[in-house]
Structure 1
Amino acid sequence: MKGTLAVIALTLLLVQCSYSFMFEVIAAHEKCLTEEFRQDTLVNGKFEVSDRLSKNIAYPTDIVMNSMQMRFYVRDPNGDLPFDNHDARKGPFTFNAHVPGEYQFCFLDNYKPGALVMPLSRTVSLEYKTGVEANDFSDVVTKGQLKPSEAELRKIEDVVESIKEDIMYMKTREETMRNTNESTNSRVKWLSFFCFFLLIGSAFFQINYLKRYFKQRKLI
């Protein structure tokens, strides 16, 4: 029993996908973090914009927050915005990656009209989870829809399903790479044949040309 629990705990640890960042956003400059997601990946997290200013003097919080307006948005590979907050301060966010590829988490801090101060930068903290970690069963447990043990079983079931999807995804990627390699090898082979016959044809052409040239000059 202990061995089974250890295996389950290790599996949960391996499939955990949680990321946390803290960085500075310079005023009027876009700051983006890029992450690649598979299709239909659930992503949720939270963000917080701080009034802490490491590159300038300490202004009162209310003046800073009233002088600046932070925009937080997520850009998918097609350029669409599955999440967009034009006055981001703090809070949760969630979206589903309907398109596979690279997603960008972007912050853009701008001065409001008539800003009282001109801070150079502000600190932003960003945390997000994907896959199984993004599924939150705490609400259904609190509402009594599931018992804690049932919620853990649901989570383990999601973990197993996630592992299965990862295996199938890696298998598909491996097949795609194998087909690409085979196609590339085939093209290289035919290109080699083409270059070989081209060189032979060029050699025969040069020989015949030189032969005719020397005959015309009566050198042979």
Structure 2
Amino acid sequence: MAISPILFIGLICVAGSAFLFPAAEAIWLTVPSSGEKCISEEIQANVVVLAYYYCIDQDKVDFGPTLDVRVTSPYGNELYKRVNETAGEFAFTTSESGTYIACFSMHHDQSHYTPSSSVIISLDWKIGIRAKDWDSVAKKEKIEGVELDLRKSEAVVNGIKANMLHLKLKEAYAREINEKTNKRVAQLGFFSIGVSLIVSVFQVLYLKRFFLKKKLI
């Protein structure tokens, strides 16, 4: 049975997406009894972020102490804040490109728990296509099988395109800064040479005048 070129390309994209976007795995963080533990991620604008977290004690099977959680944007805006929680989730759509930071710390008033030296947090952090609920999309649009895989591959391709555009803009910005820096360094070099020449001329004239005054020449 012959396979159409479009279907063949779609299957290749789906297969490649397994390598480009591997299945998200939970991140395990060790939070000290004092201070906080933070993770950061550079994310573009208009990207969906979804995260689940829960805190456990490595010496106990059940849930452990409660946490204070804070998520901030690149410009310091507070996107999510919770106190005295053992588990939770947060979701938001990024409004600007940059580094987003999530910080975890042990709640100071542990009335139900005696804190040890540190605790462990499981964080499942999903970004972009990983955060999309494909089961809901399939039920809503009544698609399945190859069509659903092609829809996923389309999302992957759009994500790659957006990443390439973002990198291109960053490269252009970095090149512009580099060119401005080189220009200013060249101007500073010419200015330094000019100052050195002027100082040398004044020094020669001063020495000549000094030697004439002392009748050494």
Task: Provide TM-score, normalisation by structure 1.
Answer: 0.83
- What is the rounded CA distance, in whole Å, between the counterparts of 1:109 and 1:81 in structure 2? 19
Amino acid at match of 2:35: H
Given that 1:32 and 1:107 are in contact with CA atoms closer than 8 Å, whether structure 2 keeps it comes out as yes
Query: Aligned match of 2:51 in 45, 55, 60?
Result: 45
Aligned to 2:29: 23
SS at match of 1:72: strand
- What is the rounded CA distance, in whole Å, between the counterparts of 1:119 and 1:180 in structure 2? 49
Query: Aligned match of 2:176 in 151, 174, 179?
Result: 179
With over 3 angstroms needed to count, the CA separation of the structure-2 counterparts of 1:118 and 1:189, relative to structure 1, is closer
- What is the rounded CA distance, in whole Å, between the counterparts of 1:7 and 1:134 in structure 2? 19
With over 3 angstroms needed to count, the CA separation of the structure-2 counterparts of 1:36 and 1:204, relative to structure 1, is same
With over 3 angstroms needed to count, the CA separation of the structure-2 counterparts of 1:79 and 1:7, relative to structure 1, is closer
Given that 2:13 and 2:153 are in contact with CA atoms closer than 8 Å, whether structure 1 keeps it comes out as no
With over 3 angstroms needed to count, the CA separation of the structure-2 counterparts of 1:178 and 1:37, relative to structure 1, is same
SS at match of 2:107: strand
Query: Aligned match of 1:133 in 130, 133, 137?
Result: 130
Aligned residues: 210
Deviation of 1:206 after TM superposition, in Å, equals 0.5
Given that 2:24 and 2:126 are in contact with CA atoms closer than 8 Å, whether structure 1 keeps it comes out as yes
Aligned to 1:14: 20
- What is the rounded CA distance, in whole Å, between the counterparts of 1:177 and 1:19 in structure 2? 33
Cα RMSD (Å): 2.5
Amino acid at match of 2:168: K
Given that 2:45 and 2:94 are in contact with CA atoms closer than 8 Å, whether structure 1 keeps it comes out as yes
Deviation of 1:145 after TM superposition, in Å, equals 3.2
Given that 1:16 and 1:133 are in contact with CA atoms closer than 8 Å, whether structure 2 keeps it comes out as no
Deviations 1:105-126 (A, max 9, x none): 1111124265563433221111
Aligned to 1:105: 102
Deviation of 1:97 after TM superposition, in Å, equals 1.9
Deviations 1:41-79 (A, max 9, x none): 2111211111334xxxx6x95xx85xx431122122222
**What is the 5 A alignment of 1:156-171?**
156-171=153-168
SS at match of 2:153: helix
- What is the rounded CA distance, in whole Å, between the counterparts of 2:122 and 2:113 in structure 1? 24
Q: Which moved more, 1:72-81 or 1:146-155?
A: 146-155
- What is the rounded CA distance, in whole Å, between the counterparts of 1:193 and 1:100 in structure 2? 38
Given that 1:17 and 1:129 are in contact with CA atoms closer than 8 Å, whether structure 2 keeps it comes out as no
Aligned to 1:153: 150
Aligned to 1:34: 40
- What is the rounded CA distance, in whole Å, between the counterparts of 2:110 and 2:129 in structure 1? 43
- What is the rounded CA distance, in whole Å, between the counterparts of 2:142 and 2:211 in structure 1? 97
Given that 2:53 and 2:124 are in contact with CA atoms closer than 8 Å, whether structure 1 keeps it comes out as yes
- What is the rounded CA distance, in whole Å, between the counterparts of 2:141 and 2:214 in structure 1? 102
SS at match of 1:82: strand
Task: Provide TM-score, normalisation by structure 2.
Answer: 0.84
With over 3 angstroms needed to count, the CA separation of the structure-2 counterparts of 1:16 and 1:172, relative to structure 1, is farther
Query: Aligned match of 2:90 in 86, 89, 93?
Result: 93
Q: Which moved more, 1:84-93 or 1:34-43?
A: 84-93
Amino acid at match of 1:110: H
With over 3 angstroms needed to count, the CA separation of the structure-2 counterparts of 1:188 and 1:156, relative to structure 1, is same
Given that 1:76 and 1:102 are in contact with CA atoms closer than 8 Å, whether structure 2 keeps it comes out as yes
Identical-residue share of aligned pairs (%): 29
- What is the rounded CA distance, in whole Å, between the counterparts of 1:157 and 1:47 in structure 2? 29
Given that 1:111 and 1:118 are in contact with CA atoms closer than 8 Å, whether structure 2 keeps it comes out as no
